[in-house]
Amino acid sequence: LQDLEQAHPEYRDDNSPTMRVGSDINKNFTQVIHKYPMLSLANTYSEGEVRDFYERVRKALNEDFEICCEMKYDGTSISLMYENGRLMTAVTRGDGEKGDDVTDNVKTIKTIPLVLQGDKYSQSFEIRGEILMPWDVFEKLNEEREAREEPLFANPRNAASGTLKLQNSSIVAKRKLTAYFYYLLGENLPRDGHYENLQEVSKWGIKISEITRKCKTIEEVFDFINYWDVERKNLPVATDGIVLKVNSIRQQKNLGYTAKSP
């Protein structure tokens, strides 16, 4: 197929399997400044702190609001830029202000579309998510490394991060990474609701987590937390918590950001 595409470039398709195999030669990663800073999340560890967060939001907004509950996946953060339905760049979180351009490596991940589905997508947008190595792939990789007497990866997060930084994208292609996306950014978003935007994104072929719930009360939030605090142990990828977001983009902007976290 590669020979055919080289002989007849007019037949080349951006979704061709040959675009996923990678190359054994990668240029050194260049640094890219994020259009929107990639901030870290504030952590909380008790029911009381969750209730305090909910109460602060209620008082600050002084109107009805919804909370979107999501799994926090334990991988390596990535930001993708799409222009006119095509994947243009993939950049790591880095220091939050700038990260490494790992586009060639990310293009080998089969769950990430190089070309979007349909024609209803935004002309230009950024989508953020997590690159992950599934548990079964991680365990097999460590078995292979042990047989070769190579150092083992401590966990799937380190394995995913290390894989994404390899200079050989053909090896990246063999590592069977996957990804979930959770945050759409841009000038003209389809909807005001964060949850609703994710549903739109999934129609474009971008993989989102099905473990997402929109909650109208604090009781619904705790139902989600308590259920998935147990059931997340049965998921095929690593997680390290649950993320709570005010669903309305308008209300998010009204609440504002701290220097380090949204």
Torsion, CA 218, CA 219, CA 224, CA 228, rounded to 10? 110
**Partners of 212 in the β-ladder:** 70
| Phi, psi angles (nearest 5°) of residue 218 | -65, -30
Residue tagged active-site, from 72, 110, 165, 174: 72
Looking only at Cα atoms, what is the longest distance across the chain?
Answer: 65
Distance CA 139, CA 144 (A): 9
Active site residue 203: no
Per the CB < 8 A criterion, the answer to whether 202 and 260 are in contact is no
Residues marked active site are found at 72
